Amino acid sequence: MTSSILSSARKTQSNDRYYNKALLEIKNLIVEYPVKEGNVRAIDDVSLTLYRGEVLGLVGESGCGKSSLGFTILKLLKGGVIRSGEISFNDINLVTIPEGEMQLLRGPELSMIFQASQNALNPLQKVLNHFIDTLKTHYRWNDESWQKILELLNRLEIPESRLEDYPFQFSGGMQQRIVIALTLILNPKLIIADEPTTALDVLVQARLLEILKEIIKEYDLTVLYITHDLGIVAEITNRVAIMYAGQILEIGDTQTIFQNAAHPYTRALIEAIPNVKDEEKKLLSFIPGHPPDLRNPPLICCFADRCSYSQDICHSKKPQSINLNFENGVQHKVKCFIYDDRYGHLFDQK
């Protein structure tokens, strides 16, 4: 526990190391899945910047669009359509890039660790051949390739002797390590990690998280870390974005979010973290109501129906993103009328 507090302290000190060179910039992105009854708006006007060398957490309830955002960045949407917006990666516009060029970027430039699942590996292919195919797609095979594979196996504690085994012969935790190794083997500049540890049991998860943290630091990776576990967010991220109903409601420095959350939804989320030691919080608190239907959403605050602070304005207009200033200087944005100079007074009575 103490070590994690120390490490977050270090993070705060080195803040200025990050936040100057953007690697990925998303602007006003809208993504929809066309369905029979209309359109499911999975990404609703999302703007987001990922800086080189940072770990940005993306947190939100199930179904809020986290994976969709990841797949959009990789241009691997299953049935989804980018309606508008920009995604620029290293000054390349990913929205308009032809698929042939995008395929070359996937892997060595940007890649994704898949949501922990038993199905991420080809059942009929030996693990070694997964590595060989992946490397050969992008590089000429040589002695170094071998060294690379062995080094990563070693880092992720995968026994080298098992390279000739098939995926089904591995435990879930080991499969997930292989998935991570397959992503890292190409040295991608940007990694989208989609709940890489969620399906694993607590101990396996803790160890894997430890390894991931070391690797991220050592390889100086830029990571979009998708999870709904705030404990992991505290462990591993520099900044965090709170996603709800396809929108980013709040984004800022991880410590600030935990200590000084601005958005009512973020606060409710943090309140809801179960705490074994704290007697009062032993009862799991939860947010009444459920997320709105993403099909053809109305132009109002998406959290208004569940928000204990909500006023008439929240039910009649859509809030814009507002910059907040905290003393550590890290950009902090929130989508809530409470912080809007024009409407803030409406909430004063509360």
Ligand X SMILES: Nc1ncnc2c1ncn2[C@@H]1O[C@H](COP(=O)(O)OP(=O)(O)OP(=O)(O)O)[C@@H](O)[C@H]1O
Where on the chain is the footprint of ligand X (CB under 6 A)? 33, 35, 40, 42, 60, 62-68, 78-79, 228, 294
Helix ranges (H only) for 185-328 are 202-219, 230-236, 254-260, 264-271
Pick what 105 binds: Mg ion, ligand X, another protein, none; C-beta below 5 to 8 Å, kind-dependent: another protein
Question: Which of the residues 58 through 87 are near another protein (CB under 8 A)?
Answer: 74, 76, 78
Minimum CB distance to Mg ion, residue 303 (Å): 20
Q: What is the largest CA-CA distance in the chain?
A: 70
Residue 129 in contact with another protein, rule: CB under 8 A:
no
Question: Which of the residues 131 through 150 are near another protein (CB under 8 A)?
Answer: 133-134, 137-138
Minimum CB distance to another protein, residue 14 (Å): 30
Q: Can you list the positions of beta strands (E) in the chain? A: 22-35, 38-51, 55-59, 81-89, 92-93, 110-113, 190-194, 222-227, 239-244, 247-253, 322-324, 332-334
Applying CB under 5 A, the residues found at the interface with Mg ion are 67
Provide the 8-state DSSP code for 347: G
Cα-based angle 71, 76, 81 (whole degrees, multiple of 5): 85
Binding marks (x or -) toward another protein, 203..242, rule CB under 8 A? Answer: ----------------------------------------
Give the Cα separation of 17 and 200 in Å (integer): 33
Residue 39 in contact with another protein, rule: CB under 8 A:
no
> Does an H or E element contain 2, and which?
helix 2-13
Length of the chain: 350
Of the candidates 86, 36, 47, 24, the one whose C-alpha atom is nearest the C-alpha of residue 246 is 47
Minimum CB distance to ligand X, residue 35 (Å): 5
Minimum CB distance to Mg ion, residue 24 (Å): 19
> Which residues lie near another protein (CB under 8 A)?
74, 76, 78, 103-108, 111-112, 114, 117, 119-125, 133-134, 137-138, 166, 168, 179, 182-183, 186
